[in-house]
Amino acid sequence: MKSIVLAGALVGLLVGTAGGRPLFNKRALVTEIVYVTETVADAVVYVDIDGVPYTTSFQDIASSTSASVVSAIAENVVSTTDPAPAPPVSSSSSSSSSSSSSSSSSSSSSSSSSSWAAPAPPPLPSAMPSFDLATSVEVKSASSTLEVIPSSQAPPPAPTPEQPAPPPPASSEVPAQKDNYDGRLGMGVTYDPFAGSQGGSRCKSDQEVANDFDRMKEFNVVRIYGMGCNMIPLAVQNAKKLNQKLMAGVYLSNRANGEDLGQVIQAWKSAIDQYAEGNWNMVSLFSVENERVNDHDMTASDVVDAINRARGQLRGMGYSGPVGAVETVPATLDNPAICEASDVAMVNCHAFFDSNTVAEDAGRFVKSQVDRVQKACNKRVVVTESGWPHQGDSNGKAVPSPENQRSALSSIRSNFDHDMFLHHAFDSTWKSDWASSFNAERFWGIM
């Protein structure tokens, strides 16, 4: 009986011990999450042409601090091997600011305190995108803060100095130069640098030329005819000072007194480089000759060849404006090859030489002739000379006088507000009359 009682006591002791001390002792599960805060001086965010950021680089890290946050997890929570989802990383380049990809902005990133149920972003690509970069957005802040959550995978390496440098902003591109002949010219005037009397001409001094340009400052464009009297550099200097444009010319001739085309073009290049910073925009037109076909000095073939040679040389030197030749209306209509070779049609047209036109109708007459040239050439027409003499002999209804000159100029201005050169700025007392000049060749000056 005692043995039975002793055995029962031993069994009870063993059961009590087993029940009071389990095999697996459960403990509270504690998960430690470490938040690392980095303060950086400069953050550069690169975006593509659509404004979407694709990489960020940092420079001059100022300091680094870390803080540990310990969260107690309830007992009975079973841990898994899946990493916890990471909170969204605040960025200085948001979708609302990405649309402005061609400008630089300064903003500090803000930390998000909302729930972070979204999954962690994918790692950055190992290679740069293949598309062209339009610009970069540089974010500069005294303290740009990024929250970093360590994960089970190692983070991608930060951009190294070997990464391509950010491209220049789109605004740094220099726009292509627009062809001058796409636009119209304002009212112009013709000019030469000679003074004196018949048989005793001389070159005007630099100061006289400067004074003349000052008197012509109301005109947008000044036409010169050649390189005589150092005219090209003087014209460039004075026109630039007064914000005027120039029509360049070459005095070509098959006779002994003609200029060399190449020398004139080189003189223009030198003057533009020296006095206009190499900018050809101040030259609106370039003519290789003036009425040489009309005067039976050159053939149409000669003129076409000169136009092509001049254009080739000028394009190589940076001039992209129109190149052509100046002729009278009849010579232009009779020689369509000149019109075809020219970038624009250039004609001298004087109502005074039509014996049936009075001064008050000068503008309407010139307009009718321009319409004929435009129809024949199918090109823009620039009237490179048009005026009325204030002294000389009458040509039928065309009578020279100061009053008639004023009437004719008023009529011309009322019919043309562009692509018109009034002839001539000052009287050309050095000139000589010819068979059909009606003793008026010296008296076309309008000032």
Per-residue pLDDT averaged across 285-313, rounded? 98
CA 232, CA 214: separation in Å to the nearest integer? 17
CA 366, CA 410: separation in Å to the nearest integer? 13
Of 56-60, 218-222, 268-272, 355-359, the range with the lowest mean pLDDT is 56-60
Average pLDDT over the chain, rounded to whole? 75
CA 382, CA 412: separation in Å to the nearest integer? 14
Query: Higher confidence at residue 34 or residue 154?
Result: 34
**What's the confidence (pLDDT) of residue 146?**
35
pLDDT tens, position by position, 350-397: 999 999 999 999 999 999 999 999 999 999 999 999 999 999 999 999
pLDDT tens, position by position, 345-355: 999 999 999 99
Known catalytic residue at 385: yes
Q: How confident is the model at residue 129 (pLDDT cuts 50, 70, 90)?
A: very low
Catalytic residue among 75, 138, 385, 441: 385
**What's the confidence (pLDDT) of residue 198?**
85
pLDDT at 172 over 50: no
Query: Higher confidence at residue 124 or residue 199?
Result: 199
Q: Are 336 and 387 in contact (CB under 8 A)?
A: no
**What's the confidence (pLDDT) of residue 32?**
59
**What's the confidence (pLDDT) of residue 47?**
54
CA 196, CA 183: separation in Å to the nearest integer? 38
Of 74-88, 207-221, 280-294, the range with the lowest mean pLDDT is 74-88
**What's the confidence (pLDDT) of residue 224?**
99
Per-residue pLDDT averaged across 217-236, rounded? 98
Q: DSSP letters along 212-266, please?
A: HHHHTTTSSEEE---SGGGHHHHHHHHHHHTT-EEEEE----SSTTPPPHHHHHH
| The token pair that represents 153 in the structure block | 């995978």
| Axis crossing angle, helix 261-275 with helix 300-317, rounded to the nearest 10 | 30
pLDDT at 307 over 70: yes
Query: What amino acid is encoded at 56 in this protein?
Result: T
pLDDT at 338 over 60: yes
**What's the confidence (pLDDT) of residue 18?**
43
**What's the confidence (pLDDT) of residue 256?**
81
Query: What amino acid is encoded at 323 in this protein?
Result: V
pLDDT > 90: percent of the chain: 57
**What's the confidence (pLDDT) of residue 425?**
99
**How much helix, strand and coil, in percent to the nearest 5, is found in the chain?**
30, 25, 45
Query: Higher confidence at residue 10 or residue 285?
Result: 285
| The token pair that represents 33 in the structure block | 């999450």
pLDDT tens, position by position, 421-438: 999 999 999 999 988 999
Per-residue pLDDT averaged across 301-326, rounded? 98
Per-residue pLDDT averaged across 4-15, rounded? 44
**What's the confidence (pLDDT) of residue 313?**
98
User: If residue 11 lies in a helix (H) or strand (E), which one and from where to where?
Assistant: helix 2-20
Write down the pTM of the prediction.
0.61
Of 151-165, 179-193, 233-247, the range with the lowest mean pLDDT is 151-165
Strands 381-387 and 420-423, sheet pairing: parallel
pLDDT tens, position by position, 250-285: 999 999 889 999 999 999 999 999 999 999 999 999
Q: How confident is the model at residue 118 (pLDDT cuts 50, 70, 90)?
A: very low
Where do runs of H (alpha helix) occur along 242-387?
261-275, 300-317, 329-334, 336-341, 362-377
**What's the confidence (pLDDT) of residue 368?**
99
Q: DSSP letters along 58-122, please?
A: EEEEEEEEEEEEEEEPPTTPPP-SSPPPPPPPP-SS-HHHHT-TTS-B--------S---SPPPP
